[in-house]
Amino acid sequence: MVFQVSKKDDTLSGDITLDGSKSISNRALMIRALSGQDFAIDHLSTSDDTVAMEQLIKADEGELDVGPAGTTFRFLTAYYAIRDGEQILTGSERMKKRPIGPLVDALNALGARIKYLEQHGYPPLLLQSPGDLGKKFRLSVPANISSQFISALLMIAPALPKGIELTLTGKLVSASYLQMTLTMMEYFGIEYQFKDQVITVGPQSYHPKPYRVESDWSAASYHYANASFASDVSLRLGGLFQDSMQGDSVTHKLFARLGLETSWDREGLTITRKGKPESLLEHDFILCPDIAQTMAVVCGGLGISGLFTGLETLSIKETDRITALRDELMKVGVFFSKMPDRFSSVSGKEYYTVEGKAWQSEPPLFATYHDHRMAMAFAPLSMLFPVRIEDPEVVGKSYPGFWNDLTSLGWSIEMVQQI
């Protein structure tokens, strides 16, 4: 399926309420299951990943297929690793290429019994009743692995006989997601210590109580991208808050540098235009990697230079997002490139540049690589010229209402060919 996406004018106004955060929703579901008691979770994400999490975390013994849901796979691996019974965890072909080894090694060290059914270090997994949980509680794990691995270990820590003392070695990536996990655990009564990259969580119990999920800042970034290309903006986004625990909440600060002003009230925010964009957008995305694609496309659409770092985890996401960004931006005359290694040797960081101004006389066809964020990051270019998005249904992974929300804001969306 291919959607052709266009907008007849370059103004943007309207009022939408965004879905609940997928990241927060999946953690809330994990904590509720670990608490052993039911409690209300309001404004839960309707994303495919969260729907899968809610269904599979209640499953009995058997084979559980999470599809492409990476967070779900990692959290369920930890959850079922400490439970009696036998489970097989599997997923999509892309999921089978996403590494799970560091999490499995850590869980087996804690007393779990997990085996690989195909390629070593990758799904699918066989999880059997644990052997001697608590035989070890001090672990060292690389800090530059996915924060979801570390979050999965932390959330099960209170249920372990001795808890966990987790030493994070090396450079910490996606620290905002790790802090999100700890903040939510604390809300549900868990005490912890986090000092000098050592996190200690003792054995204790979660205290069940009602929880409301805030709206998704990753989803908001696509509407800010739309607004950045508009000549006149008055767009209200409901459910977002200035004191968010989401790392992607930096979105409003980044777009302030691109001429957009955000005003707040008790129920959300309003975006308006105020000034022109800076000529260079430089940012370290180590705390907010999920909006890097959005910002690369925005730089290309505005014709401003981008200088990005902190993209270490992008190559192990739903697709290799570094390569995908390079290839798709090239279709509209924008170049996304890694800077020579000599720059990295000086700073210790890898830098990427965005150069060029997006343009096409015919609607470009953007591949999405089964990656929801590729579809939503490139759709805002439709403010400038019609675009075609391959496999548009992939947005269901995190933002099922994305196309409907665009339609409500004045976009024209047409299915132009079946493939």
**Domain with 151 in it: what CATH number?**
3.65.10.10
Domain endpoint, select from 212, 243, 276:
212
Q: Are residues 66 and 110 in the same domain?
A: yes
Angle between helices 147-156 and 22-35 in degrees, nearest 10:
20
What is the rounded CA–CA span in Å between residue 116 and residue 248? 34
Six-digit token string for 119: 């390629």
Average pLDDT of the segment spanning 144-153: 89
Q: Are residues 278 and 332 in the same domain?
A: yes
Give the pLDDT confidence score for residue 318 in this predicted structure. 58
What is the rounded CA–CA span in Å between residue 216 and residue 224? 13
Give the pLDDT confidence score for residue 70 in this predicted structure. 87
Strand 198-201 to 193-195 pairing: antiparallel
Sign of CA dihedral 261, 262, 265, 270: positive
Give the pLDDT confidence score for residue 343 in this predicted structure. 63
- The Cβ-side half-sphere exposure at 155, using a 13 Å CA radius, reads 33
Number of structural domains the chain divides into? 2
Q: How confident is the model at residue 341 (pLDDT cuts 50, 70, 90)?
A: confident
Three-state SS annotation for 11-79: EEEEEEECCECHHHHHHHHHHHHHHCCCCCEECCCCCHHHHHHHHHCCCCCEEEECCCCHHHHHHHHHH
User: Is residue 346 scored above 60 in pLDDT?
Assistant: no
Tell me which of 370 and 221 has the higher pLDDT: 221
Average pLDDT of the segment spanning 37-55: 95
Coil, strand, or helix at residue 238? strand
Rg (CA), the chain: 21
Sign of CA dihedral 202, 208, 214, 218: positive
Q: Are residues 199 and 320 in the same domain?
A: no
Average pLDDT of the segment spanning 291-318: 88
Strand 211-212 to 41-42 pairing: parallel
User: Is residue 359 scored above 80 in pLDDT?
Assistant: yes
Q: Are residues 323 and 384 in the same domain?
A: yes
Domain endpoint, select from 212, 242, 270:
212
CB 78 within 8 A of CB 107: yes
Q: Are residues 101 and 236 in the same domain?
A: no
pLDDT tens-place string over residues 383-406? 999 999 999 999 998 999 999 999
Q: Are residues 14 and 48 in the same domain?
A: no
Q: Which of 72, 146, 196, 74 is nearest to 312 (CA)?
A: 146
Query: How many percent of the chain have pLDDT more than 70?
Result: 96
Least confident of 168-172, 205-209, 384-388: 168-172
Six-digit token string for 53: 């999490």
Domain endpoint, select from 195, 212, 229:
212
Give the pLDDT confidence score for residue 60 in this predicted structure. 79
pLDDT tens-place string over residues 49-61? 999 999 999 887 7
Q: How confident is the model at residue 349 (pLDDT cuts 50, 70, 90)?
A: confident
pLDDT tens-place string over residues 83-142? 999 999 999 998 998 899 999 999 999 999 999 999 999 999 999 999 889 888 999 998
Give the pLDDT confidence score for residue 52 in this predicted structure. 93
Q: Are residues 85 and 111 in the same domain?
A: yes
Q: Are residues 390 and 413 in the same domain?
A: yes
Q: Are residues 155 and 114 in the same domain?
A: yes
Rounded to the nearest 10°, the torsion over CA 235, 379, 173, 149 is 110
> What distance, in Å, lies between the first and last C-alpha atoms of the chain?
5
What is the rounded CA–CA span in Å between residue 383 and residue 220? 16
Q: Are residues 180 and 250 in the same domain?
A: no
User: Is residue 345 scored above 90 in pLDDT?
Assistant: no
Kindly state the helix (H) or strand (E) to which residue 383 belongs, with its residue range.
none
Residue 58 belongs to what domain range? 22-212
Residue 186 sits at φ, ψ, to 5 deg, of -65, -40
Q: Are residues 159 and 202 in the same domain?
A: yes
Average pLDDT of the segment spanning 352-374: 94
Catalytic: 290? yes
CB 104 within 8 A of CB 122: no
Give the pLDDT confidence score for residue 342 in this predicted structure. 65
Average pLDDT of the segment spanning 161-189: 92
Residue 208 region by backbone torsions, left for phi larger than 0, else alpha for psi between -120 and 50, else beta: beta
Q: How confident is the model at residue 146 (pLDDT cuts 50, 70, 90)?
A: confident
Taking CB atoms within 8 Å and a gap of at least 24, the contacts of 55-59 are: 57/29, 57/30, 57/33, 58/33, 59/87
Residue 64 sits at φ, ψ, to 5 deg, of -115, 120
- Catalytic choice (19, 48, 49, 290): 290
Q: Are residues 143 and 265 in the same domain?
A: no
